[in-house]
Amino acid sequence: MTRPLTRRELLERAALGGAALSLPAFLAACGGGNGIEGTATTTAAGTTTGGSKTLADTLTISNWTLYIDIDEETKKYPTLEQFTAETGVAVDYIEDVNDNDEWFGKNQAALSKGQAIGRDITVLTDWMAARMVRLGYVEKLDKEAIPNASNLVSALASPGWDPNREYSLPWQSGLTGIGYDPERVGGEITSISQLLEDPKLKGKVTFLTEMPDTMGLMILDGGGDPSTVAKADFDRAIERLQAGVDSGQIRQFTGNDYSGMLAKGDIWAAVGWSGDMVQLTADNPNLKFVIPDAGGMIWTDNMLIPTGGDVFTASTFMNFVYDPKVAAQIEAYVNFICPVDGAAEEIKAIDASLADNTLIFPDEATLAKVKIFDAEAADDNAYKQQFQAVIGA
């Protein structure tokens, strides 16, 4: 696989979150030994739906943009080609997931009727994945076909909405924190409170339209725990957020268009995502990304098999990408957080400096500070309504 030289350069330049690397620290944080553990989950009895054990001719995958390695010259996907070479299954890879709600809105009508949507795998964020499982719009994975599932980092092994990982497997994770320009701000930023209260930052701050991200950080800043949201904490956070809007302290609520604003200096600090900051610092090395002292959020995009998807073929693919070598290959391009144990080791063969990057392989200190948002609260209509009212919808 050919890799553009600029990526190596840009990662060297990425000056984000300065905790030092150490492979033992990473492994400890990911809670694994050296990867291939024998845990009981590899042989769940009779959980396949349909029961077919033959591979289909084609596998159709719906994913977010730039979420898999690609050879920019030949425009082909090395990992997918490898999969096809090994299994004979052609892969139809469609990058049509832009936003969880949008994807769901588009497919809801068909799914609610139990109709297939023409996809074998789709990748959705935690709380949306939780909703899909809750509503029964997904098929169970064929765990027999995914022995490599045991490579899943233990931190992600058992989310509340899918405790035995029967329906999903993480694809990539990412962090939500604060991205800012230390020069313009004139110092360091360590908390959400600063964003809301520092008069210097008035009108120069943005938050995200994603409720789990924004409210997660707000609740943490208020001393609460977003992994189990308490109404009092949520209400208090909403009040503070509304005050920020009313006073003009918060300039806007954005999707990822905050990156443009930060790059141009229209805003000086933004609640944002780790992946974006990696790209922004390539052009402007002064920008920084921090997890607030009170804590940040970690989110995961998960592979699911929607109703009607080919379970065996999809599961085979999942097994394929959970091989540490393959995972490393994908990670070297995607640059989010890798959910596969052992990939850090493998990635050294591709690019040693990547193994050092704490945004791809976060160290223990970082992981200790981040929480996963309460999936039930994330889909609670009352909470969502309160939040939407604040962001102006």
Partner 1 sequence: MGWLHRHRGLVPYLLLAPGLAWLALFFVVPTYYLANTSLQTGSLDAGYAFTWAWDNYADAISTYHEQFVRSLQYAGIATVAAFLVSYPLAYFIAFRGGRWKGVLLLLIIAPFFVTYLIRTLAWQTILSDSGFVVNALQTVGLLGDGDRLLATSTAVIAGITYNFLPFMALPLYVSLEQIDGRLIEAAEDLYASKVKAFLRVTLPLSLPGVFAGTLLTFIPAAGDFINAELLGTPRQSMIGNVIQSKFLVLTDYGQAAALSFTLMAAILVLIAIYTKVLGTERMGV
Partner 2 sequence: MTFARRHVLTAYALLAFGYLMLPIAVVIAFSFNDPLGRFNFTWQGFTLQHWENPFGPPGLRDAIVASLQIAALASLVATILGTLVALALVRYGFRGRGLTNLLIFMPMTTPEIVMGASLLALFLNVGVATGFWTIFIAHVMFDISFVVVTVKARLAGFDRHLEEAAMDLGANPFTTFARVTLPLIAPGVAAGALLAFALSVDDFVITLFNAGSTITFPLYVWGAARVGVPPQVNVIGTMIFLVAAGLMLASVLVQTRRPKGTS
Minimum distance from residue 120 beta carbon to partner 1 (Å): 23
| Residue 184 binding result from partner 1, partner 2, none, given CB thresholds of 5 to 8 Å by partner type | none
Minimum distance from residue 234 beta carbon to partner 2 (Å): 27
Stretch that binds partner 1, among 2-10, 66-74, 245-253, 311-319 (CB under 8 A): 245-253
Half-sphere exposure of 225 (CA within 13 A, CB side): 2
Interaction mask 80-109, partner 2, x per CB under 8 A: ------------x-xxxxx---x--xx--x
Q: Does 160 bind partner 1 (CB under 8 A)?
A: no
Q: Which residue has the tokens 């299954």?
A: 89
| Residue 231 binding result from partner 1, partner 2, none, given CB thresholds of 5 to 8 Å by partner type | none
Q: Which residue has the tokens 């997904």?
A: 138
Interaction mask 55-74, partner 2, x per CB under 8 A: -----x---xxx---x-x--
Q: Position 108: which residue type?
A: Q
Supply 213's token pair: 């991200």
Q: Does 308 bind partner 2 (CB under 8 A)?
A: no
Supply 61's token pair: 């995958």
Minimum distance from residue 366 beta carbon to partner 2 (Å): 22
Q: Which residue of 113, 163, 248, 392 would you call a contact of partner 2, by CB under 8 A?
A: 113
* Gap between the Cα atoms of 289 and 282, Å rounded: 13
CA distances, 130 to each of 109, 161, 186, 193, 258 (Å): 18, 5, 41, 30, 27
Near partner 1 in 104-143, by CB under 8 A:
104-105, 108, 131, 134-135
User: What angle (nearest 5°) sits at the alpha carbon of residue 225, between those of residues 381 and 169?
Assistant: 70
Q: Which residue of 21, 23, 55, 110 would you call a contact of partner 2, by CB under 8 A?
A: 110
Based on CB atoms, which residue is closest to partner 2, 83 or 322?
Answer: 83
Near partner 2 in 133-172, by CB under 8 A:
none
Based on CB atoms, which residue is closest to partner 2, 214 or 281?
Answer: 281
Based on CB atoms, which residue is closest to partner 2, 64 or 373?
Answer: 64
Based on CB atoms, which residue is closest to partner 2, 118 or 182?
Answer: 118
Based on CB atoms, which residue is closest to partner 1, 50 or 260?
Answer: 260
By CB under 8 A, how many residues form the interface with partner 1? 29
In 3D space, the residue among 370, 385, 345 whose CA is nearest the CA of residue 289 turns out to be 370
Q: Which residue has the tokens 């360091």?
A: 188
Interaction mask 264-283, partner 2, x per CB under 8 A: x----------xx-xxxxxx
Stretch that binds partner 1, among 166-174, 319-327, 348-356, 379-387 (CB under 8 A): 379-387
**175-192 burial code (b ≥16 CB/10 A, e <16):** bbbbbbbeebbeeebebb
Q: Does 269 bind partner 1 (CB under 8 A)?
A: no
- By CB under 8 A, name the binding residues for partner 1: 101-102, 104-105, 108, 131, 134-135, 203, 245, 248, 250-253, 257, 260-261, 264-266, 381, 384-385, 388, 390-393
- By CB under 8 A, name the binding residues for partner 2: 6, 9-10, 60, 64-66, 70, 72, 75-76, 92, 94-98, 102, 105-106, 109-110, 113, 115, 118, 255-257, 259-260, 263-264, 275-276, 278-284
